[in-house]
Structure 1
Amino acid sequence: MNAKHALLVDGLGACASVLLLGFVLPAMQPWIGMPTRILYLLAGIAALFAASSLSGYRFAGDHATRWLRAVMVANLLYCLLTCSLVALHLGELTAGGVAYFVGEAAVILGLVWAELQVLRRDQGSRGGPRSV
């Protein structure tokens, strides 16, 4: 996988988050516990991330690694926001809600790790610095 393909995977994952956070989970809110307005907020952020990653896939060209770095930082900030919102609303969340958000964070962190490996490999193949 190269940086451009990583952007595609990231964008498709963000689209899945939009569907889950914007449509599925609000319909299941009593079984999740997270307030609907928070689910819609997170879905909106995921929609912006999907647009960014898919735009990077389509238009970044030779700058895909730079674009991927920005996407990785955004993903980490999204995880931080999500964990903060889970902590803030922990009393309202059900076990299913906690499981969903922990799972979402685990998937995103796994994706960031995979993206980091892509960047390291791309940097190494170009003879550039290995630090990312």
Structure 2
Amino acid sequence: MIKQENLTSKKKAYISSELQLKMNRIIKGLTNQLVKKPKTLFLIDSIGAFLTALLLFVVLRNLTEYFGMPKNTLTILWSTAACFWLYSAVCFLFLKRKWKLYIKIISFANLFYCMLTSAFLFIHHDELTALGLTYFLLEIAIICMLAYIELNVAAKILNTSCDNQIMPGSKSCL
């Protein structure tokens, strides 16, 4: 019986480490692609922020009894997400230079949003339902993953006078 439990725990550890390796490869590949096309990062971020704002404003505000988060707190969260959507959309549409700076700004803003949401989860833990807690924890996990990727992309964009260039990695600086 002990050998079987030991074998099962070793199997679980092996599967966990394999999953972690695959996840690391996926994130590294995604990061390398986004370094070549940093504008795409702003598109991804703006779509995510728009969906967050939409879900918070339309769905969760109208179904507070199922999620448990008070409407005034949801208003703070959806308006914050809407500001991030506007920022990322403007960067996607109009930004031509200084990718690194603006990527860092949105990544730290996303981390701030996660901390704010975590604080609200702590403050309203008695009111939250299992569905509400699940929604917000998943949202935090997804946004933290995005911020991690954004910070990795920003770190890989070279610190040169060419950070002002139209696209990182091109031969000439405009």
Structure 1 partner of 2:168: none
> Which one of the candidate residues 107, 113, 117 is aligned to 2:152?
117
CA change 1:53–1:79 in 2 (3 A) is same
| CA deviations over 1:55-90 (Å, ceiling 9, x no partner) | 111122112221111001111111111000110000
What stretches of structure 1 of length at least 5 have no aligned partner?
none
| CA deviations over 1:72-113 (Å, ceiling 9, x no partner) | 111111111100011000000001111111000000001011
Report the AA paired with residue 50 of structure 2: C
Offset, 1:3 = 2.1
Helix, strand or coil for the counterpart of 2:43? helix
What stretches of structure 2 of length at least 5 have no aligned partner?
1-33, 164-174
1:51 matched to 2:86: yes
CA change 1:41–1:100 in 2 (3 A) is same
1:9-88 mapped onto 2 (5 Å cutoff): 9-88=44-123
Report the AA paired with residue 82 of structure 1: T
Helix, strand or coil for the counterpart of 2:87? helix
TM-score of the superposition, structure 2-length normalised?
0.69
Contact 1:3 1:115 (C-alpha < 8 Å) held by counterparts? no
Structure 2 partner of 1:90: 125
Structure 2 partner of 1:101: 136
Q: CA RMSD in A?
A: 1.9
Distance of 2:93 and 2:99 partners within structure 1: 10
Runs of 4 or more off by more than 4 Å in structure 1? 124-128
| CA deviations over 1:11-67 (Å, ceiling 9, x no partner) | 110000011001011122101000011112111110000000111111221122211
Helix, strand or coil for the counterpart of 1:90? coil
Contact 1:18 1:43 (C-alpha < 8 Å) held by counterparts? yes
Helix, strand or coil for the counterpart of 2:97? helix
Contact 1:57 1:64 (C-alpha < 8 Å) held by counterparts? no
Name the count of aligned residue pairs: 128
